[in-house]
Structure formats: structure tokens, C-alpha cells
Amino acid sequence: MKLNTVNELEKMAKEIRKGIIEQVYNGQSGHPGGSLSVADILTVLYFNELKIDEKNPKWEERDRFILSKGHCSPALYSCLANRGFFPVEDLKTFRKLESYLQGHPDMNKIPGVDMTTGSLGQGLSAGIGMAIAGKMDKKDYRVYCVLGDGEIEEGQIWEATMSAKKYELDNLCIIVDNNNLQIDGTIEKVMSPYPIDEKFKSFGFEIIKIDGHNIQEILDGFDVAKHIKGKPVCIIAKTIKGKGISYMENQVGWHGTAPNEEQYKIAMKELV
């Protein structure tokens, strides 16, 4: 199911956000803030950009996607369910005992998940391995990897970026979800990675800056990225943590907090 218009994608992004709230509310656990900030980006990926087949999740020619900031799994699960990889109704089992939809993505249990993630800083290394494999096998699939801006404080990220440039991985696209907040506060105060653009540029990446909530800019950013040759691409998406829910927006307290019943009702009403 590919959506081609901005209006269609904006409507789907609302559905994705509803799915995020359903999961965290029903599980009374999870990470709504960062899931909501990346929702528009994942919506464009799963409903326009990625070459995937929900009927054949292991299709060898598919594009690969890695949610390196794996604690924001509600956004990924909502996209996979709405795309048809598994029933939307299953989102209500999020983080419950014996559910396959646990707090972090598991490639062995969830259709459509290409890499098990959760240990921050490690997803990019796996993505680079996939991109190198694609080059070696002469495949034309692309690899997309979403990183949190707090996550890029991890040293392994920068070791991985050196490999990406060395092997000229123009089939690799990193997206940094730059919502400026992590569990302990603003990223400047915790361990500032700024200037993010200059850092990735110095490691040999082509830099694209976008508004991570503007669907047209996201579409255009991915289109530009596909035409960059000879080096990897880093899309820096400026976002708002908790985007779409008034009382969650730009509030660090919603990094890993579940809404109560009243808050759940307000959130779902705002997403109509």
C-alpha cells in the first residue's frame, strides 16, 4: 500500500500516532515522546519510500530499515501493523506478557523487523554491515537507519561512520531524529553532539537538513538522498518530542511515561 500524496501521508501519520498512544496506554509502559517525534519520518518510509512486501517480509530484494533507537518501537510497530505485516489489533498487546510486541524490536519474532535493537549505538553498525553486503552481492536495495540525537553520544556511532565513508556506502541513509531531548534533559546539557551536521560531514557524509514534521520536506529529502553517489547520506530531521499531543510536546517527562485514562482520551481526541 503506497501513499503518494502529502494529504494521504499526513492522514496516515495520525493513524500511526494513534497506534503509538494505544500501545503505551494499554501496556502502561513505553516511550511515547521519541516515538511521536519520529512518526512522520517512519510514515513516509513505510508508506512511500521503502521497497518492501508485507506478504513476503524476508524478500531478498527489499530495502532494509533499522530503528537504532529501539525503545521507540511503538512508532515502528504502528507502521508495520498499518502496512499489513501483522494485525493492528495486536498493538494493544504491547509489552504484555507473552506478546511478541515487546519493548524493543525483535527480528526473530516480529514480521518486518530487519534488526533487533535496543542497546543504543549499535544499530548503525548493523546497518553498515547490511549496506556492505548489498554492495558485495551487487544488490540495489537501500539501507535506512534512524538514530536518536541522544543516541549519537555513543562512541560506537562514530566508529561506524568511518566505515561508511571508507566503503563509499551510497546505499546507506542515516536519519537523525533531532528532537533535542533525552531521558535526563536536553542533549546540550547531557553531552552535546552539536553541531551534528558538521560532525557527520567531517566523517564524509552528505548532509541533508529537513523539518521532520513536514511531509513534503521528508519526501524531498529521501529523493535527494537516493541520487547521492560515492558516499553515505545523513538526513538531520528537526523534530519535536511528543509531536501531535499538546501536553507531551517538548516535555522531557514524556520520554518514558505512559498516559493515564484521562490523558489517553485527550490524546486520542486530539488525533481525530
Across 157-173, average pLDDT: 97
Q: Is 270 a residue whose pLDDT tops 90?
A: yes
Q: Give residue-wise pLDDT tens across range 102-135.
A: 999 999 999 999 999 999 999 999 999 999 999 9
Q: Give 64's strand partners.
A: 143
Here the cell at position 198 is 558538521
Q: What confidence category does residue 1 fall into, taking pLDDT thresholds of 50, 70 and 90?
A: confident
Contact 118, 104 (CB under 8 A): yes
What gap in Å lies between CA 235 and CA 193, rounded to an integer? Answer: 15
CA 109 to mean position of chain CA atoms: 19
Predicted structure pTM score: 0.98
Q: Which residues contact 134 (CB under 8 A, 6 or more apart)?
A: 140, 141, 142, 143, 171
What gap in Å lies between CA 245 and CA 229, rounded to an integer? Answer: 39
Q: How many CB atoms lie within 10 A of CB 250?
A: 14
What gap in Å lies between CA 242 and CA 50, rounded to an integer? Answer: 25
Q: What confidence category does residue 150 fall into, taking pLDDT thresholds of 50, 70 and 90?
A: very high
Q: Give residue-wise pLDDT tens across range 216-248.
A: 999 999 999 999 999 999 999 999 999 999 999
Strands annotated E in the chain: 64-67, 143-148, 172-178, 181-182, 185-186, 206-211, 233-238
Q: Give residue-wise pLDDT tens across range 41-64.
A: 999 999 999 999 999 999 999 999
Residue 105's pLDDT is 98
What fold does the segment set 6-270 form as a domain? Rossmann fold (3.40.50)
CA 226 to mean position of chain CA atoms: 18
**Sign of the alpha-carbon dihedral angle for 185, 189, 190, 195:** positive
Residue 2's pLDDT is 92
**Sign of the alpha-carbon dihedral angle for 236, 43, 30, 265:** positive
Q: Give residue-wise pLDDT tens across range 6-37.
A: 999 999 999 999 999 999 999 999 999 999 99
